[in-house]
Amino acid sequence: MFRMTVHSRAALPWLPLHSVHLGHRPPRPTLWAGIVTLHRQLPIGLQRKAAARQTDRAAREEQLSTTDSPGEIRSERRGAVLLLTIAREHKRNALSREMVAHLVSLVTDAAADNSVVAVVLTGQGSQSFCAGADMNEQREDPATSMTLPVVEAITRFPKPFIAAINGFAHGGGAWIASACDLRFGSPGAEFRFPGASYGMAIGAAHLPRIVGSAFAREIIFTAKRVSSEEALRVGLLNGVFGSDALLAETLDLAGAVAVNSLPALMGSKAVIDATMPIEEALALEAAVNSELRSSVDTASRFGRAASRVLGAG
């Protein structure tokens, strides 16, 4: 088994990992049980009305089930490529604490599995790659970043890690995308690092290494939206594909990466990262945010931001 150790001067805090079994809900009682017998006893008009009422009830129950779904991280092998999908489309693929723990666990396992040469991360649907942390859960514990463990796990991942961004990547979702080695997007892909607007420093460790110091400052200081065209121009995206073709094209590229030597890929990545000590910058960013989270200004700004997001539903 090939292993490579990269020594870093900074040790980052680590989230205790555990496997989380997600995405399963107890089966619902069948709404149509016994309805056939009832229909045989009713006139045609009443049968139709009864069927319509049952259909409405089923639709409402299905909608409630979708709204309350905790989401999941789907994992699928494509040869030497591991495809991970953030599957919580109705919540703009926002991450719950369970999803964070599961995603970190999957990434950690993939790092130790020599049959996995590259990872592709994407979000369910075409509207959002990831909206970062679930604001309902993050608001319960604003002193601790829910997204940081995912960013750390991807930053430490010793093999190529690729994002397929179909829709917007805002806040923690943009932070996660910036931690990936390569990013491909659809024409509707959009980035936003809004940390400064609610009193946080988000993306300051990774962005300068991708787009350069000047544009990183502009993105972070203004919290501006970055379109796919601008992201491609400045290097935040490596390529843009049609929405329907994005995942297939990204997987094809990941497959082209995966046919290469794993030791060579890991060695190349280690050298690139060694010339840019990302973990030290990330540790500094985490320390800055630790101080910021204790401030009254951040608490106030974060509360307003959470209310806006939750109010938009």
Q: What is the CATH classification number for the domain harbouring 249?
A: 3.90.226.10
Task: Provide the pairing of β-strand 190-192 with 225-227.
Answer: antiparallel
Closest Cα to residue 114, out of 247, 251, 4, 268?
4
The Cα-based distances of 216 to 104, 160, 163, 262 in angstroms read 26, 23, 19, 31
Which residues of the chain carry a pLDDT beneath 50?
A: 1-42, 46-47, 50, 53-69
**pLDDT one-digit tens code per residue, 52-109:** 544 444 443 333 333 344 579 999 999 999 999 999 999 999 999 999 999 999 999 9
Distance CA(211)–CA(236), nearest Å, equals 6
38 in any annotated domain: no
Q: Is residue 44 part of a domain?
A: no
Residue 53 lies in a domain: no
Q: Look at residue 1 and tell me if it is in a domain.
A: no
Gap between the Cα atoms of 255 and 117, Å rounded: 9
CA distance readout (Å), 286 to 11, 134, 280: 12, 19, 10
Residue 46 forms part of a structural domain: no
Residue 70's pLDDT is 55
Q: Spell out the long-range contacts of 202-207 with Cβ–Cβ below 8 A and sequence spacing 24 or more.
A: 202/171, 202/172, 202/174, 202/175, 203/174, 203/175, 203/178, 204/281, 204/285, 204/288, 205/278, 205/281, 205/282, 205/284, 205/285, 206/155, 206/175, 206/178, 206/179, 206/278, 206/281, 206/282, 207/178
pLDDT at 45: 53
Q: What mean pLDDT, rounded, does the chain reach? A: 81
CB 189 within 8 A of CB 231: yes
pLDDT of amino acid 66: 34
Residues 6+ apart with CB under 8 A from 37: none
As given in the structure block, the two tokens for residue 191 are 């980035």
Instruction: Please give the residue range of the domain that contains residue 114.
Output: 72-312
In a domain, 101, yes or no: yes
Question: So what's the pLDDT on residue 295?
Answer: 85
pLDDT for res 52: 52
- Are 183 and 228 in contact by the 8 Å Cβ rule? The answer is no
pTM, two decimal places? 0.73
pLDDT of residue 24: 35
pLDDT attached to residue 162: 99
Quick one: pLDDT at residue 17? 32
What is the predicted pLDDT for the residue at 215?
97
For residue 56, tell me if it sits in a domain: no
Residue at 24 is within a domain: no
Q: How many structural domains does the chain have?
A: 1
Per the structure block, which two tokens stand in for 22? 């997600």
